[in-house]
Amino acid sequence: ALTAGIVGLPNVGKSTLFNAITKAGVEAANYPFATIDPNVGVVEVPDKRLKDITEIIEPKKEVPTTFEFTDIAGIVKGASKGEGLGNKFLANIRQVDAICHVVRCFEDGNITHVDGRVDPIADIETINLELIFADLETIDKRLAKTEKIARSTKDSEAVAEVAVLHKLKEHLEAGKLANSLEFTKEEEAIVRSLFLLTRKDMLYVANIGEDEISHPESNKFYQDVKALAEEQGAEVVPVCASLEEEIALLDDEEKREFLEGFGMEESGLDQLIQKAYTLLGLGTYFTAGEQEVRAWTFTKGMKAPEAAGVIHSDFERGFIRAETVSYEHLMEYGSMAAAKEAGHYRSEGKDYVVQDGDIMLFRFNV
């Protein structure tokens, strides 16, 4: 499964947010294979469509799909040079698919900031610089090898790789992230082989105080982070980590009331889950039977057999065809039978590209 890593400088509210994630975590009974790694928090992906489909189908059980966050401890200034936990965090970041960077936007005299002041832009630069340093080291190592080969053999692949490496190096040395560079398809293959940290999708989590979370726009630090994120083509989500920790323990009804009391429509954690999901190019399809209505995560662009493989590899191997109706059509006609009657229940083959919101029934040989 794809995962988003949570990073942040000390005292920004990272552990508080990660606690909220684990407390809000999935009901183990529904997901017997969910990870038990203490650094991984598995959450249910909120999706209003699942409830809507359940109301029509009336199954025995409703099962949301899940998303994983990984807690990445130990980034401090100088970490790439071995300060603090040092290089260990780099290996951990390398394994995640997107980076959620928590920054402190709340003021609280009782909680010290590592640099003595609240300054999320400086915090972002500090961490991004560590990531950039780490990537430069990766590139320099590769350059030393590849330049030698290019010089002695004039091998065209090696020559092309040297050019890509120089392009990356120049960009990173200017303090920019590799994810803001464009590459051709051939170049992209070289870039991918480097597993750069700053090439990953990035999302900033602005940790805002309880008194301001209903109107984050009035928080100057949040505005600064938002502007920087826009410049970088990154996303930003405002949350109040300490509130999320309380919300995580409530049931649906209590949660709704609690949020209302704070003037919020949706919890920050739910917004974070959705944004991370979208950032990674993920979508949801549903299966709907008498036993259960269930949401499944797939990567947008997947064809029907591969999407079926999310449920079980046998579904992919023995795939014959898929029967499908879109969520919108089911809602419009109010029942499977009526949607079918109107000609919206389709039979699709192995080249069908599954769409977000499709309700799927896979036919396969065992």
Q: Residues annotated in the binding site, as ranges?
A: 11-16
Closer Cβ to ligand GDP, 96 or 208, answer by number: 208
Q: Count CB atoms within 10 A of the CB of residue 168.
A: 26
Q: Which amino acid is at 138?
A: T
The mark string for 201-220 relative to ligand GDP (x by CB under 6 A, - otherwise) is ------x-x-----------
Interface with ligand GDP, residue 120, by CB under 6 A: no
Q: Are 340 and 288 in contact (CB under 8 A)?
A: no
CA distance 296 to 275: 17
The mark string for 221-240 relative to ligand GDP (x by CB under 6 A, - otherwise) is -------------------x
Q: Count CB atoms within 10 A of the CB of residue 316.
A: 19
Q: Are 49 and 81 in contact (CB under 8 A)?
A: no
Among 4, 5, 7, 14, binds ligand GDP (CB under 6 A): 14
Among 3, 4, 6, 8, binds ligand GDP (CB under 6 A): 8
Q: Who contacts 64 (Cβ-Cβ below 8 Å, separation ≥6)?
A: 44, 45, 46, 47, 50, 294, 295
Interface with ligand GDP, residue 12, by CB under 6 A: yes
From residue 164, give the alpha-carbon distance in Å to each of 97, 161, 183, 194, 320: 22, 5, 9, 11, 43
Closer Cβ to ligand GDP, 27 or 266, answer by number: 266
Closer Cβ to ligand GDP, 212 or 358, answer by number: 212
The mark string for 41-80 relative to ligand GDP (x by CB under 6 A, - otherwise) is ----------------------------------------
- For ligand GDP, the binding residues (CB under 6 A) are 8, 10-16, 106, 108, 111, 207, 209, 240-242
